[in-house]
Amino acid sequence: MAELIKTPLHAMHLAAGARMEPFVGYDMPLRYPQGSVAEHNQARNRAALFDVSHMGQLRLMGEGADAALERLVPGDIQGLGDGAMRYTLFTLENGGILDDLIVSRVPGGLGLVVNAARRNQDTEHLRRHLGGRVDIVPEPDRALLALQGPAAAAVLADFADLPFMAWREGEACGVPARVSRSGYTGEDGFELSVAGADAEALAGRLLAHEAVAWAGLDARNSLRLEAGLCLYGRDLDEDTTPLEAGLGWTMPKRRREERNFPGAARILDNPPARRRAGMRPEGRVIAREGSDLLDGSGEPVGWVASGGFSPVLGGPVAMGYLPLALTAPGTEVAFDIRGKPRPGRVVRLPFVPHNYFRG
């Protein structure tokens, strides 16, 4: 096995007593001594600091980068104002999804943050389709930290005026940073892109605040699940369309009319037969990814894409794919868990309300 990549914060994780785990080629903190549930609650109640430096940061530079990127995504990129950012998808000719990503308007181009597991495919995809039209500039030497939770705005008071999905450059705790009001936990908070060499200083100064503590990948997963947010590889993949995934909102009217993104006809002309839905199993047994979903007669009709324990609800939650007719909240479904059908029902997403700062 190739040696795992260490983020610029690796030594700090070890010093904090983190349990490390290989994650898409990186040696990442799974959890810290306080435990995943405490870390989860830290993000919901105070402020949790995540090292997400494994995520791919890159820039598309040059005039017309926005129009160029629209050839690959169904989102409104040309309409992004200065300092604005947006969640979008790389779609494929078959209507599936290559990756989900965040796109920011930056001076002279666009900034992209993509999933670590898909970075190589994404970069290759960009080169193949946009090479020559825009400069594709990976930024492997930058670190990315996420500070998430209701106390985050008090910690980064200089950026407390930024509304959700906006960003600007500035000094965070004395460190030059690109600071955005964003994250993937459902909470208010920030993501901070900094030079790798500055990452330890920034993390140390953030952790010096009484409200801030580390949180690992395990808590990050339970937070995004409670928030009903998709994880690429579980909830999204190359065979799932944006409409099936419930991400139709990422395709605005202009782009649906232009139909000039990969798979547009397949996505827009085929009403989805299945759709992502939120579900709650009864009791405490956890429905995990891969479990079959059964209808009233016990027939397999779908599958769990993401499942786990919700610390806020104190019980299991799941997201999965079901035939459209079974996705209405209240619909009874069963989970096939270790060969036994376990009852549950469809519920509205998110499981826990979002707490974004809209300005």
35 binds another protein (CB under 8 A): yes
284 binds another protein (CB under 8 A): yes
Q: How many residues bind another protein (CB under 8 A)?
A: 16
Least distance in angstroms from the C-beta of 311 to another protein: 8
CA distance 337 to 149: 33
Indicate which single residue of 18, 277, 286, 301 sits in contact with another protein (rule: CB under 8 A): 286
Compute CA distances 102 → 114, 184, 269, whole Å. 7, 11, 26
Only one of the segments 2-10, 66-74, 280-288, 324-332 lies at the binding site for another protein (rule: CB under 8 A); that segment is: 280-288
Q: Which two tokens stand for residue 296?
A: 């009233």
| Chain residues 42-81 in contact with another protein, contact rule CB under 8 A | none
E strands in 149-299? 167-172, 175-180, 189-195, 212-214, 274-281, 292-294
| Chain residues 216-255 in contact with another protein, contact rule CB under 8 A | 218, 222
Least distance in angstroms from the C-beta of 23 to another protein: 12
Task: State the DSSP code for 134.
Answer: B
- Residues comprising the chain, all counted: 359
When the beta carbons of 19 and 266 are compared against another protein, the nearer one is: 19
Least distance in angstroms from the C-beta of 338 to another protein: 7
Concatenate the DSSP letters of all residues of 68-122 into one string.
HHHTT-SS--TTPPTTBEEEEEEE-TTS-EEEEEEEEEETTEEEEEE-GGGHHHH
Run of H or E residues at 137? strand 135-138
CA distance 28 to 186: 22
| Chain residues 7-26 in contact with another protein, contact rule CB under 8 A | 19
Compute CA distances 304 → 115, 276, 320, 325, 354, whole Å. 21, 9, 4, 17, 22
97 binds another protein (CB under 8 A): no
Indicate which single residue of 37, 160, 195, 211 sits in contact with another protein (rule: CB under 8 A): 37
When the beta carbons of 178 and 220 are compared against another protein, the nearer one is: 220
Least distance in angstroms from the C-beta of 282 to another protein: 13
SS3 359: coil
302 binds another protein (CB under 8 A): no
Residues 177 and 199: beta-carbon distance below 8 Å: no
CA distance 72 to 261: 5
When the beta carbons of 75 and 216 are compared against another protein, the nearer one is: 216
When the beta carbons of 313 and 325 are compared against another protein, the nearer one is: 313
When the beta carbons of 23 and 87 are compared against another protein, the nearer one is: 23
Taking alpha carbons only, the member of 143, 145, 122 closest to residue 60 is 122
288 binds another protein (CB under 8 A): yes
When the beta carbons of 162 and 317 are compared against another protein, the nearer one is: 317
Indicate which single residue of 132, 338, 339, 359 sits in contact with another protein (rule: CB under 8 A): 338
What's at 345, amino acid-wise? R
Least distance in angstroms from the C-beta of 285 to another protein: 6
Residues that bind another protein (CB under 8 A): 19, 30-31, 35-37, 218, 222, 284-286, 288, 308-309, 316, 338
